[in-house]
Structure formats: C-alpha cells, structure tokens
Amino acid sequence: MAHIKPVFRPTDYPAEPDEQTGQDLAELFDTLFPGVAEPEIDRSHTGMAIAAHSPKFALNLSKLTGCVVLELPWCEKRDLLELAIQTVNLHFKCDFSFETRLPYAESTGIGMERLAALPMWRTSNLFDDEQRLVIEYANAVVTGDVPDELSSRAVARFGQRGAVEMSAVIGTFSLWAMLINSARPE
C-alpha cells in the first residue's frame, strides 16, 4: 500500500492547501501543463505526483531534471544516460522507476537483454568499454566512494565537464529513486 498518495491533479492535494501552497500548486501544474484546462500527471511520472505534495520543491525538481536530461551535453548519448539512470535504480532497488523507464531504455537501443545483464555488467559481453565505465562510475557515486583511478578514467573519457554532468545525472536520479521508494507508489 502506498505511504503517500500521489497528487496527479491539483484536486488530489490532501485537505485544503493554505494560500501559499495553493498558489505554488497552481504554478506547478500551470508550468507542467500550460494552457491545459484539467492538467494531470501521467502514471509514468508518479514521482512528480509524489513530489507535488511540496509544490515549490516539485517545480524546482522538474526544472533540475529537465536541465539534467535535456540540456547537459553529456546526456546527448541517450544510451549512456539510461544506463546511468537504470544503474541508480538498481542500486536503490527502485523497481517502480526501473520498470517505468523501460520504454525509454528500449528506445535508446539498450534493449531488455542489456538491462537484464546490468547486475553482471563486469562479465557480460553486452556492454562496450564506455558503457562499462558509466555503470562502474554510477555504482561508485551512489556509494559515496569514487576511487581516484575511476575518477581519472571518467575525466579522461568524458572530460571534467562530462564527469560533473554524469555525476549530476546520478545524483538527480538518486534523489528520484529515494523519493519514490519512500512513498511506495502502486
């Protein structure tokens, strides 16, 4: 059973929000769905509907996520982006997010076979060296311990900016995984 009921529509907000929260809620839905008379967050974005309990936070989290996945040059290689995200989901055991993102991963060419092999990434022949580096780096970042040698390899491959942007992806989707796990959406 869900611990926190998602706010898919403004009318789903529990109880009567105070004036500021009401304004923030309106701004959130107006920003996410400009000009839509009856806005609704779809089920694949349940994490946003959970965050909507704190509308100002949800709005800024939406902006951060949009920046990370749509504006950072490192994220232009969508397969690497999805491998980083799905590695995070596996680490945090965020099955909901892992399953919700399957169509995105499939569209990048990763495919179900590679996703199934993620736990065996070190020995699987399904990943190239660049993909292995991303998976290894993501696994290290989520533990809070990135060895110098691994950091050096990430910088050598992606540059300093790329390493920072890859870390931003991992951090952002770690936040999402923890938020979703704490709410236990159905």
Q: What is the pLDDT along the chain (186 residues), one digit of tens a residue?
A: 568 899 999 999 998 889 999 999 999 999 999 999 999 999 989 999 999 999 999 999 999 999 999 999 999 999 999 999 999 999 999 999 999 999 988 899 899 999 999 999 999 999 999 999 999 999 999 999 999 999 999 999 999 999 999 999 999 999 999 999 998 766
Is 32 within 8 Å of 62 (Cβ atoms)? yes
Tell me whether residue 144 is exposed, middle or buried, using C-beta atoms within 10 angstroms of its C-beta: 0 to 12, 13 to 18, 19 or more.
Answer: exposed
pTM reported for the whole predicted model: 0.93
Distance CA 170, CA 72 (A): 13
